[in-house]
Amino acid sequence: MEVNFEKNPEFGLVFKEDLDPVRIIRDLEVLLRQEIVPGKTLIFFDEIQECPEAIKALRYFYEEKPELHIIGAGSLLEFVFGNLSLPVGRISYEYLYPLSFREFLCATERVILADRIPLVSYDHPGFAKLSNIESNQMFKAMHEYCIVGGMPECVAVYVKTRSYASVAKIQDFLLTVFRDDIPKYARGDLQIRNVAAVFAKIFQNVGCQIKYSTLGDGDNITRTKNSVYLLAKAMLCHIVKSVDPSGLPLGASAHDKVFKLIFLDIGLGQRLSGINVNEISGSQNILKVYNGKLADQFVGQQLLAESSEASEGRDLYTWIRMEKSSGAEVDYLLSRNGKVVPVEVKSGKSGSLKSLHLLRSSYTNSLGPSFCLQHIDRPGEAEGIFFYPLFTIL
């Protein structure tokens, strides 16, 4: 049964008196007009951030009514948790990301195609090439995914209507909600305006080393830095820090001042940036649109959504050479099987891969296999670098 604290504020009053699970259950039964049976009933506390007392009560449900199944869900919970004292080991956390490409295929009734996505083996890289039909259908679906994205409501509307225009309306609504939520976690007019400005420019800077002066339109750098932190905490973007590839864990060498960003969702990103849907839908290689940023976003988004570890925990890393005038960087570094795995993303032809070759020659002893993800289904190998299509999940 659902208890939505935003739609029905009266549910919050149940938790104001005290945090006794027995009394709370009795009062909820009266409001819901249903019996709550431990072991059989699942209570879903939705928008739980609107009732901090309900979050506190979870501890007592765990200790005194462990047989009762409860799920709490909400947005901006990280900001609520900062003001609460939560017991260790009493609550488990799950982070929901937009649907991955694989999940998008399943949602659009292409389960068989989803099962054909090759899985990379880091011990023995390589897989059988897809047939022409499989490959064509895979890239057709990627084309749709880059426009629709993975936000559940957007996918649901697309499944129902097959209309990009209908999806765009939902995307516009979500972006408006995200902007309206900014005052909930940013304090002061200057900070609120700065967060809004940074939010509007994140997708334009996907795949690029971030400069606060550019991201904040010349505003105070400290304020812009705080905006990036707030947006990342709200999970509207994800920070991809530059690290030293010489050893594990990668996070031990993460550089707070040298990093890239990826946006929450590829579909929302292209909508936020004002990319013309007609330009996208008419492109033979959609991932080259917007200077290849869609390709970088696509891979980062898949790693977060599909991998139980991403790179280490819920973090992604990159390599940006620190020497002056070097210009060398590799898009992602993963931690796999005790080795550092470099991943370069290409929206078009693979090119010379100078940065990847430089990384491999500089950190030979610490690296595992290297991968180039590209907009073609042409598996192969060259000088220890394995070539895979972008839809391959790492």
User: For the segment 76-85, what is each residue's pLDDT rounded down to a tens digit?
Assistant: 888 887 677 6
Residue 237's closest CA among 297, 187, 181?
Answer: 297
Three-state SS for 293? helix
pLDDT at 356: 92
pLDDT at 282: 64
Residue 253's closest CA among 322, 207, 328?
Answer: 322
Q: How far is CA 172 from the centre of its chain?
A: 19
pLDDT at 113 over 70: yes
Q: How confident is the model at residue 281 (pLDDT cuts 50, 70, 90)?
A: low
The span from the CA of 274 to the CA of 263, in Å, is: 15
pLDDT at 87 over 90: no
- Percentage, residues of the chain above pLDDT 90: 63
The span from the CA of 233 to the CA of 227, in Å, is: 10
- Range with the poorest average pLDDT among 75-79, 133-137, 239-243, 262-266: 75-79
Which of 16-20, 93-97, 346-350 is predicted most confidently?
16-20
Three-state SS for 241? strand
User: For the segment 192-207, what is each residue's pLDDT rounded down to a tens digit?
Assistant: 999 999 999 999 999 8
Q: Tell me which of 195 and 59 has the higher pLDDT.
A: 195
In 3-state terms the chain splits into helix, strand, coil percentages (rounded to 5) of 45, 15, 40
- Range with the poorest average pLDDT among 51-65, 77-91, 138-152, 306-320: 77-91
pLDDT at 75 over 80: yes
pLDDT at 32 over 70: yes
Q: How confident is the model at residue 349 (pLDDT cuts 50, 70, 90)?
A: low
Give the burial class of 82: count Cβ atoms within 10 A of its Cβ; 0-12 exposed, 13-18 middle, 19 or more buried.
exposed
Give the burial class of 119: count Cβ atoms within 10 A of its Cβ; 0-12 exposed, 13-18 middle, 19 or more buried.
exposed
Give the burial class of 323: count Cβ atoms within 10 A of its Cβ; 0-12 exposed, 13-18 middle, 19 or more buried.
exposed
Chain mean pLDDT for the chain: 89
pLDDT at 384: 80
User: For the segment 376-393, what is each residue's pLDDT rounded down to a tens digit?
Assistant: 777 677 778 888 888 887
pLDDT at 249: 94
| Token code pair at residue 206 | 């996907």
Query: Do 251 and 312 form a contact (C-beta atoms < 8 A)?
Result: yes
Return the number of other C-beta atoms located less than 10 Å from residue 87's C-beta: 12
Q: What is the mean pLDDT of residues 315-325?
A: 86
pLDDT at 374 over 90: no
pLDDT at 93 over 80: no
Q: How confident is the model at residue 177 (pLDDT cuts 50, 70, 90)?
A: very high
DSSP string, 96-153: --PPPHHHHHHHTT-HHHHHTSPBPPSSS---PPPPHHHHHHHHHHHHHHHHH-S-HH
Amino acid at 91: I
Q: Which long-range contacts does 52-56 make (Cβ < 8 Å, 24+ apart)? A: 52/80, 52/83, 52/84, 53/12, 53/15, 53/16, 53/19, 54/5, 54/12, 54/15, 55/80, 55/81, 55/84, 55/86, 56/15, 56/19, 56/84
C-alpha distance across the termini of the chain, in Å: 37
pLDDT at 325 over 80: no
Q: How confident is the model at residue 366 (pLDDT cuts 50, 70, 90)?
A: confident
